[in-house]
Amino acid sequence: MLKSSHKFPRETALRGKTTFRMKKPTNLLLALFASLSLTGGSLWAQSPDKANKQPKIEAAPHVKNFKALQKLNQQIVGLSKKAQPATVCLVAKNGRGSGSGVVVSQDGLILTAAHVTSSMPEEIIVIFPDGTRKEAVSLGADYDRDAAMVQIKEPGKYPFVEVGQSKDLKRNQWTVALGHSGGFDPMRKPPVRLGRVLRNEKFVVTDTAVVGGDSGGPLFDAEGRVIGIHSNIGVSLMENRHVPIGVYHQQWKSLKEGGNPENDLTTLQKMSLHQTSRFLEFNLLIATTESGSPRSFRSLLPRGPVLSRTMSLRKLMAS
Q: What is the pLDDT of residue 299?
A: 41
Q: What is the pLDDT of residue 137?
A: 94
Q: What is the pLDDT of residue 184?
A: 92
* Whether 107 contacts 155, CB under 8 Å: yes
Q: What is the pLDDT of residue 73?
A: 87
Q: Quick count: other Cβ atoms within 10 Å of Cβ 302?
A: 8
For every one of its 319 residues, what pLDDT tens digit does the chain have, with 9 covering 90 and above?
A: 554 444 434 333 334 444 444 445 555 555 554 444 433 333 333 333 444 455 567 776 677 788 888 888 888 899 999 999 999 999 998 878 899 999 999 999 999 999 999 988 778 999 999 999 999 999 999 999 999 999 999 999 999 999 999 998 999 999 999 999 989 999 999 999 999 999 998 999 999 989 889 999 999 999 999 999 999 877 776 789 999 999 999 999 999 998 765 544 444 454 445 545 554 554 444 444 334 443 443 444 333 333 333 344 444 445 4
Could you please report the per-residue DSSP string of 175-206?
Answer: EEE---TTS--TTSPPPBEEEEEEEESSSEEE
How open is the CA angle 267-204-307, to the nearest 5 degrees?
25
Amino acid letter, 104? V
* Residue 264 to residue 190: CA distance in whole angstroms: 36
> In 118-176, where does DSSP find H-type helix?
none
- Is the domain spanning 1-260 CATH 3.40.50.720? The answer is no
If you count them, how many residues does the chain have?
319
* Half-sphere exposure at residue 195, Cβ-oriented, CA atoms within 13 angstroms: 30
| Residue boundaries of the structural domains of the chain | 1-260, 264-318
Select from 225, 228, 252, 250 the least CA-distant residue to 240: 228
pTM: 0.67
* Residue 16 to residue 239: CA distance in whole angstroms: 13
